């Protein structure tokens, strides 16, 4: 017998636009939210978010359809340049210090799937989310979005203070856990 939360997950998982067929589904999934999405800066309620590297700011850009923000580069670099991840992304240009991104990565936070495609095709999928056709994550706290205020020692950091807070408090434990997860869960090609 399947419980109600499993039924809800299946029902909401079926609501994916046909536009996603233009994207390529990767054979690897993303790390868990607490090791990837949240350290990158995406702790929102949206089911999907896209990311790519922007050389001008030397950081990943996170896009959920409505909002776009600069993410934390460290978890992205650890994931993107891991020898087990690199072969899965061959043929796709997510951007780099010398290259402008031709492709964007799309993360399905509900099913923990990764897709990659041209930026226009990824934006077409995110447009469904922006219009409310794709439901938010079930059970997620309301109001949290990409770029939500960061807390440090009981104080809310905003704008440049957030960057300073990230620089002052790197969570090395999470970064090591991310590396360990990749080594254990991403199959070498």
Q: Confidence class of residue 26 from pLDDT cuts 50, 70 and 90?
A: very high
**Entry pTM:** 0.78
Where residue 118 falls (left for φ over 0; alpha for ψ -120 to 50; beta otherwise) is beta
Most confident range (mean pLDDT) of 67-71, 143-147, 160-164 is 67-71
Q: What mean pLDDT do residues 106-129 have?
A: 94
The whole-chain average pLDDT of the chain stands at 81
| pLDDT tens digits for range 41-81 | 987 788 999 999 999 999 999 999 888 999 999 999 999 99
State the pLDDT at residue 90.
95
**Using CA atoms, how far apart are residues 189 and 187, in angstroms rounded to an integer?**
6
175-187 as b/e, with b when 16 or more CB fall inside 10 Å? bebbbeebeeebe
Backbone angles phi, psi at 141, to 5 degrees: -65, 135
Q: Identify which has the larger pLDDT, 30 or 189.
A: 30
């Amino acid at each position: 017998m399947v419980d109600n939360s499993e039924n809800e997950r299946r029902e909401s998982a079926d609501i994916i636009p046909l536009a996603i067929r233009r994207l390529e589904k990767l054979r690897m999934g993303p790390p868990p939210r607490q090791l990837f999405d949240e350290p990158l800066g995406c702790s929102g309620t949206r089911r999907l978010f896209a990311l790519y590297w922007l050389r001008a700011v030397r950081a990943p850009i996170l896009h959920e359809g409505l909002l776009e923000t600069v993410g934390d580069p460290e978890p992205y670099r650890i994931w993107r340049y891991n020898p087990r991840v690199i072969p899965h992304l061959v043929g796709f240009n997510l951007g780099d210090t010398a290259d402008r991104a031709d492709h964007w990565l799309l993360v399905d936070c509900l099913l923990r799937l990764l897709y990659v495609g041209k930026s226009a095709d990824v934006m077409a999928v995110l447009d469904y989310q922006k219009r409310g056709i794709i439901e938010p994550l079930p059970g997620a706290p309301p109001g949290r979005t990409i770029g939500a205020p960061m807390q440090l020692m009981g104080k809310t950091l905003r704008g440049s203070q957030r960057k300073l807070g990230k620089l002052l408090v790197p969570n090395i434990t999470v970064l090591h856990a991310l590396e360990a997860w990749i080594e254990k869960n991403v199959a070498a090609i």
